[in-house]
Chains A and B, each alone.
Chain A
Amino acid sequence: MRANECIAMLLAGGEGRRLGVLTKDLAKPAVPFGGKYRIIDFTLSNCAHSGIETVGVLTQYQPLVLTQHLGIGTPWGLDRREGGMHVLPPYVRQKGGTWYKGTANAIYQNIGFIERYDPEYVLIISGDHIYKMNYDLLLEAHKKSRADATIAVISVPWAEASRFGILSVDEEGRIVDFAEKPKKPASNLASMGVYMFSWQVLKDALVRDEAEKGSSNDFGKDIIPRLLEEGARMYSYRFDGYWKDVGTIDSLWESNMDLLEDEPQLELNDRDWRIFSASPNQPAQYIAPGARVQSALINEGCVVEGEVTRSVLFPGVRVGEGSVVVDSVLMPGATVGKNARIVRAIVGERARVEDGCQVGAPDSEEIAVVGDGETVRAEIELQEVESA
């Protein structure tokens, strides 16, 4: 593959409003996942393994943690002389300049960046999803069908189909209809938010979309439906692996729990498709005498003196003596004192749960959340923690 045949534009400006306190100070792609990673690591690692050597990362909402994590792309081997990873925040021009108004507008504002590499194809992806996918196969399918655009799709349960952008396709996989979050879905093929475009087609569509008054400048709402209406050659590309939008507290918790199965659908310990991330470089984890750890993912720098079951512990987490952690996710640097109980909960980065406190309950419908840097003291009731 020629170095710049295909470049990727990664949308990473999302707020992730439904993640509540967890995205108070950071963008959704920077939310920690899987005991080691941040969500965006999955798409960036996919790029690295798919031979995509130029990636523009579009940032907007709370970019501090995210840009610090990205650096110059070193963890993903994307610190290149030619191409590599570039962080692209909104900027001002001589005549004004605006925030990114929508996903399509974010790409529109960076047409100049894309043109510098003169690519034939542009891959549009987002930093909101957990999946391992070879984009090179998508590109091959795109070329083979001589499509203008190819959209990666995945079968979802019919009951959930109305939460997604739903595609109807013919026998050859050509897209005949697209509906964003339809009340009565005509199929169960959901768009994964992974689009391969022939650049000239996309550029033309972006320019026209920008000129349209009242457009929301969004791929799902504007660009895709309009291209389809105009009869562009749009194909679907079926993906069979694990794919999850971790946009809510429940789905974030759930997909962390998915990793604990004996044969997880998403295998992190995959030597051929390593998920790269900025390493915290901490010493090996210490499991103390009397500790009990079962069905858990635990990372470096952790010290476990209590009991950990069906839980995910990020780097530098401490669980004190006599404490019990069950069905929970403890983010980087979280500390749990002695004789505390954490059940069905997500504890944010550097949060503290003091001695004897309880967070969450086994029969609770909702997942309890302690925000980043917060402290749970004995006198604070659970209710306050949840609404914090």
Chain B
Amino acid sequence: MKMPLMGVINLIHEADEMASLTANRCLATVPFGGRYRLIDFVLSSMVNSGIPRVAVFAHTKYRSLVDHLGSGSNWDLHRKPGGLFVLPPSFEDQTDYGKGDLYHFFRNRDFFARSPAEYVVISRSHMVCNVDFTKVLEQHRESGADITAVCSREPEGLPGLARKARVNEAGRIVEMQDHFGRLNTDVVSMEMYLLSRELLLDLVETSLAQGRDHFVRHAILSRLQQLRVHAYMHEGVLGVVNNIAAYYRHSMELLQPDVWHELFNRPGKIYTKVKDEPPTHYRTGANVSHSLVANGCDIEGTVTNSILFRGVKVGPGAVVRNSIVMQNGVIGAGGVLDNCILDKEVEIRPAQQLRGALDLPFLAVKRKVI
């Protein structure tokens, strides 16, 4: 059967408290899990669900996004019919920057009008998860809901910023609040909304006509009485990654083999931009345990409880503990890292020691030499 669903990954005004990690890149392209970018998880989920047409609403700092996505070939999205469409903003004057995402839907309404898809799933980029959207669509059709929101039960709460929802016995969302709301519930919204294309276009026009321009806040939350918004409960790994605490915690969770296995393999594989890095070279004297290591690394020192991205060098006698070292980082001989997050291409000089607090990792900005 032809897939009647198209995807939108909406990067406009994503809640972002990622400090220097998003100084020069959008939230969608924050490196994660040794070789991925945050957007890879939802993008791969869409592709693995058989969605043939995905639009990415770029907004700001999107050079790294365009670089990462390219033609979409790494996700098999360089295809006919459909494929990947990166839709940058079309500001007419500077104040347009502050306008809500519904304007973006409105400006790109031709894109939706031309698509043959009956349904649209609209998602954010910062949910670390592996979702089968065919199941969401199935439930959407069976329940007769107007909108189906993907949610997750998180009884222990999450460090990231996520909306909370109250769901009645019938599975309908009766109330939803922003992360700071006082709603007492363990259901968090994964900010993925599935609805018919027709309803989406209708919501865009009516909301804008009323002077309201935020998709979730205005088009959905203010209509919870009129529209039947149902929750689809996602079961599986979830990380809402939009602040440093969440970034650190969900990264470290990957060191649990069952989380690693489930997130990257079930229901489908997570894809990313391929680099032609050689295998990682563990030299004599290397001492690595409980760590996730990407390709192209060159390790002579000790690495424990850490994540190394592609092309990281750990010199002789160096120690990396409880830390995340992004692409092409260099830890000089005898250097020590404890609870640190190093952005790309940071160099730690020989014998230099860096320590962050357990709940507040030290964060080094891109290309810094310490």
Q: Which residues of A contact B (CB under 8 A)?
A: 34-36, 74-75, 260, 262, 268-269, 274-277, 279, 281-300, 303, 308, 312-314
Contacts and interface: CB of A to CB of B under 8 A. Distances in A.
Contacts of B111: none
A290 B257 contact: no
Given A269-B298, A284-B293, A274 B286 contact: no
Interface stretch (B88-96, B198-206, B276-284, B342-350): B276-284
Given A279-B274, A281-B269, A297 B281 contact: yes
A313 B279 contact: yes
B284 A287 contact: no
B292 interface: yes
Most buried by B among A276, A286, A290, A291: A286
A276 B276 contact: yes
A283 B295 contact: no
Interface in B254-271: 255, 257, 260, 264, 269-271
B288 interface: yes
Interface string B177-189: 0000000000000
A317 B35 CA distance: 18
B210 interface: no
A162 B201 CA distance: 77
Contacts of A286: 255, 257, 260, 291-293
Given A285-B292, A314-B279, 14 more contacts: A74-B73, A75-B276, A262-B283, A269-B277, A269-B296, A274-B276, A283-B33, A283-B264, A284-B308, A287-B291, A289-B289, A297-B282, A298-B279, A299-B280
B289 A35 contact: no
A260 B269 CA distance: 30
Nearest to B255: A286
A308 B270 CA distance: 27
B260 A283 contact: yes
Given A277-B276, A298-B282, A300-B35, A288 B293 contact: no
Contacts of A34: 278-279
Contacts of B276: 75, 274-277, 279
Contact of A299 (B33, B283, B295): B295
B39 to A, nearest CB: 15
Contacts, number: 111
B290 A289 contact: yes
B35 A296 contact: no
A273 to B, nearest CB: 11
Contacts of B73: 74
Nearest to A281: B271
B280 A294 contact: no
B86 to A, nearest CB: 20
Given A281-B269, A300-B35, A291 B281 contact: no
B286 A284 contact: no
B307 interface: yes
B257 A281 contact: no
Nearest to B284: A295
B278 A269 contact: yes
A298 B295 CA distance: 8
Given A36-B279, A291-B289, A297-B280, A283 B270 contact: yes
Contacts of B127: none
A91 B33 CA distance: 47
B282 A293 contact: yes
Given A34-B279, A284-B292, A312-B279, A294 B33 contact: no
A293 B278 contact: no
Nearest to A271: B311
A248 B35 CA distance: 35
Contacts of B271: 281
Given A269-B296, A289-B290, A284 B307 contact: yes
B35 A283 contact: yes
Nearest to B303: A287
B279 A291 contact: no
Nearest to A297: B279
Contacts of B34: 283-284
Contact of A288 (B283, B284, B290): B290
Nearest to B288: A287
Contacts of A274: 276
A299 B297 CA distance: 10
A274 B310 CA distance: 14
Nearest to A299: B279
A268 B307 contact: no
B272 A281 contact: yes
A168 to B, nearest CB: 38
A284 B294 contact: yes
A285 B285 contact: no
A269 B284 CA distance: 17
Contact of B278 (A268, A288, A289): A268
Contacts of B288: 287, 291, 293
B281 A269 contact: yes
B282 A296 contact: yes
A294 B286 contact: yes
B295 A300 contact: yes
A312 B278 CA distance: 12
Nearest to B275: A279
17 contacts: A34-B278, A74-B73, A262-B284, A268-B279, A279-B274, A283-B270, A284-B295, A284-B309, A286-B255, A286-B260, A286-B292, A292-B287, A294-B283, A295-B282, A296-B281, A308-B282, A314-B279
Contact of B289 (A268, A279, A287): A287
Closest A-B pairs by Cβ, 3 of them: A284-B34, A35-B279, A268-B278
